[in-house]
Structure 1
Amino acid sequence: MKTRPSTLLLAAAVSLTTLTGCSMTDGDSDTVPFSGTSTSLDAADATEKVSSGIYDLIGVKGKASESYSTVMECSGEDAEKYFRILHPWSFYPASVSDLDVAMERLKSELPKHGWEIVEYGPDTSKNKNIRMTADNDRKKVSVRVIRMAKNDPPKLSLNVVSGCYEIPEGQEIERF
């Protein structure tokens, strides 16, 4: 797995600290779900596998951006023992007309694959981008998809974020 520091990733991490926790919890809506025990590299691989599954659900021709996972802290938890994974990426459809098709496919296909859509609609930006947030309770992950039709080129911006993992006893969290 490649690593690189990025201001964009840090900004995304900060903005996503409250992304999960809507319905991905076992009761307390402000608590990020526990995803199990894992190394940060294995957790990143698992999160990227979820991203790959989402890519497959898009169902239109296009290209995904090169992307890198990053390790985030679990709010309110010991930063030496607990972490989350953020995997941001973008999808660029081969045809501009396929942007809406891709978003609608995700809206219809995600629930068929264990996801619950917890937010859908236009944001407050001047572009009125369409935002969708979906949680997968079984996999303990959440995805935020933003349809950015007025970008050049138009794209779907996706952020997949895991629940909190605990590092195995005797190991350290690798930060990337």
Structure 2
Amino acid sequence: MIYKESMLRKSGTKTIIAITLAGLLTGCSGMNTRENSGTASHTSDSAPNRPTEKDISAAKKEAAQLSSQILALSGLHGKVTEPGPGFADDNQVERGYYISHDWAIYDLPNDKLKTGMDNLYRSLPQNDWRIVSYAPAKSEARQLQMRAEHTRTHHLVLIEWIKGKSPGDGPGASDTPEIGVTLTSPAYQAPKGTDMNKQH
């Protein structure tokens, strides 16, 4: 089943712009939150072949809970961007949709953020997450990326440690260290009678 993934990009005011993409979890090019270059997306071999029927509000709540779990497992206490989980149509399925949640934790030094990434690498597998990859991005920024799949819900997550602006970065690069998180649900199907136009 193909998932749609959101790419994080930031402005100096901590605005997060979600861009939906499609592709593969394994063997994809690295995502770069600093520069508008490259694409990324993924699939999950273990996800159901047909969308699960789920109420949209319940799906948003589940995504928010998973994001809260990731934050807690990081052990970090910094500032967190505020936007909650978002909704997007999946036109391949009648009443189809998916949920994405893009957020970041910042206002912490890089040594703390490194500890947060180490905590996640150690703790996620103990909490129903399967680490798919953990390596620097294939980009000029070379930010450290972790990709994981939740073994029960089949949500996918991309976690990136952005160390801040470095020599050679483009003008759109972030100058603030952060850990950025992109959480994406599998495709769902809203129950019959759901007015999809009211979800936007």
Assess same fold via TM > 0.5.
yes
Partner of 2:47: 25
Alpha-carbon distance, 1:7 to partner: 8.4
Partner of 2:199: 175
Partner of 1:57: 73
User: In structure 1, what is the Cα distance between the partners aligned to 2:17 and 2:23?
Assistant: 12
With 39-48 and 160-169 compared, the bigger mean Cα shift is at 39-48
Partner of 1:14: 21
Partner of 2:3: none
User: In structure 2, what is the Cα distance between the partners aligned to 1:91 and 1:7?
Assistant: 12
The CA deviation string for residues 22-72 of structure 1, in whole angstroms up to 9 with x for no partner, is 34425xxxx6x74x3222222111111110111110112212111232222
User: In structure 1, what is the Cα distance between the partners aligned to 2:23 and 2:161?
Assistant: 17
The CA deviation string for residues 47-100 of structure 1, in whole angstroms up to 9 with x for no partner, is 11110111110112212111232222337x22x411110000001153331011
With 140-149 and 62-71 compared, the bigger mean Cα shift is at 62-71
Q: Secondary structure of 2:118's match?
A: helix
The within-5 A match list for 1:16-95 is: 19-25=41-47, 34=51, 36-74=52-90, 77-78=92-93, 80-92=94-106, 94-95=108-109
User: In structure 2, what is the Cα distance between the partners aligned to 1:87 and 1:49?
Assistant: 11
Alpha-carbon distance, 1:131 to partner: 1.1
Partner of 1:127: 141
- Any conservation in 1 of the 2:100–2:184 contact (CA below 8 Å)? yes
Partner of 1:153: 176
The within-5 A match list for 1:91-106 is: 91-92=105-106, 94-106=108-120
Provide the TM-score with structure 2 as the length reference: 0.71
User: In structure 2, what is the Cα distance between the partners aligned to 1:101 and 1:7?
Assistant: 24
* Bigger relative contact order, structure 1 or 2 (CA pairs below 8 A, ≥6 apart): 1
User: In structure 1, what is the Cα distance between the partners aligned to 2:23 and 2:61?
Assistant: 19
Stretches of structure 1 that go unaligned for 5 or more consecutive residues are 1-5
User: In structure 1, what is the Cα distance between the partners aligned to 2:109 and 2:23?
Assistant: 29
RMSD: 2.4
- Any conservation in 1 of the 2:107–2:176 contact (CA below 8 Å)? no
- Any conservation in 2 of the 1:59–1:105 contact (CA below 8 Å)? yes
Cα–Cα, structure 1 residues 16 and 46, in superposed 2: closer, same or farther, change >3 Å? farther
Percent identity at matched positions?
A: 22
Stretches of structure 2 that go unaligned for 5 or more consecutive residues are 1-14, 26-40, 165-173
User: In structure 2, what is the Cα distance between the partners aligned to 1:57 and 1:93?
Assistant: 18
| Moved segments of 4+, more than 4 Å | 15-18
The structure that is helix-richer by fraction is: 1
Q: How many pairs are equivalent?
A: 161
